Amino acid sequence: MNLPNQLTVLRLILTAVFVVLFHLPLGNRISIALLVFALASITDYLDGHLARSRNLVTNFGKLMDPLADKILMTAALIMLATPEVPLPNGKIALEVWIVIAILAREFFVTGIRQIASNAGVVLAAEKLGKHKMVWQIITVCYFLLYAATAEPMFRWLAPAFSWVPFSPAVFGLICIIMMAGLTIVSGFSYFWKNRRLFGDA
C-alpha cells in the first residue's frame, strides 16, 4: 500500500478515534478531539497531493479517499448536532436540519458519480465542492474550539469568543451560512453540469 493510501486509511482510523473521544471521561476530550480532527483534515490534503505529484493514483485511492472524507465530515457534523459537544453558551452548534441537508447533498453527488461511472464517464471535482469542504472544516474547527474553551487545554482562548466579530453570533453564523450555502449551490451546480446523464428520464 503506497503512502497516499496509508494516509487515507489513517484518516479513517483517526475518525474512529475522534468519535470515541467524545464518550471518554477525559477532562480535555473535546480539545483532544479537535486536534485529532485537525490532523485528519491535514491527511486529506496530503494524500491527494502526494498521489497526484508522485503519480501514485490507484483505484483504491479513487474509492477510499472521497469516502474517507465523507465519513470524517459526517462524523464531525453529527457530533456538532448532539449534546456530546456542549457549547459554553448552552446551545447546540448545528441544527439537525443543516446536517441532514449536507448529508443529502453528499448522497446525491455520490449517486451522480455512480451513474457517471456506470456510463464510463469520469467526473472531475469542482471548485465549489472544494470550497464547500474548506468551509466545513473551518466550521467544525471553530465550534469544536469554542466548546473546548470550557476545558483546561484551551480555556485561555475563551476571551476571544467574547470579541463580537469572532463570536458565535457573528463568525459562527457566517461559518454556518457559508457551509450550508455552498453545500446547496455546489450540489445543484454538480447536477446541472452533468444533467446529460439523466437524458433518459
Name all domains of the chain by residue range, CATH numbers in brackets.
Answer: 3-195 (1.20.120.1760)
Please check the confidence at residue 201 and state whether its pLDDT lies above 70: no
Give the model confidence (pLDDT) of 38-90 as tens digits.
Answer: 999 999 888 877 877 888 777 777 778 888 888 999 999 999 999 999 999 98
- What's the pLDDT score for residue 48? 78
- Residue 89 identity: N
Give the Cβ contact number of residue 173 at 10 Å. 11
Is pLDDT larger for residue 62 or for residue 144? 144
Mean pLDDT of the chain: 89
Is pLDDT larger for residue 152 or for residue 51? 152
Do residues 164 and 97 lie in contact, with contact meaning Cβ atoms separated by under 8 Å? no
Burial class (CB in 10 A: 0-12, 13-18, 19+), 95: middle
- Per the structure block, which three cell numbers stand in for 74? 459526517
The average pLDDT across 166-170 equals: 95
- What's the pLDDT score for residue 5? 86
Give the model confidence (pLDDT) of 86-133 as tens digits.
Answer: 999 989 999 999 999 999 988 888 888 778 777 766 666 677 888 888
Could you give the percent of the chain with pLDDT greater than 90?
Answer: 56
Angle between helices 59-80 and 3-21 (to 10 degrees): 20
Least confident of 22-26, 121-125, 135-139: 121-125
Give the model confidence (pLDDT) of 178-199 as tens digits.
Answer: 999 998 898 888 888 877 877 6
- What's the pLDDT score for residue 123? 65
Helices (H), the chain: 3-21, 29-53, 59-80, 96-118, 127-148, 173-193
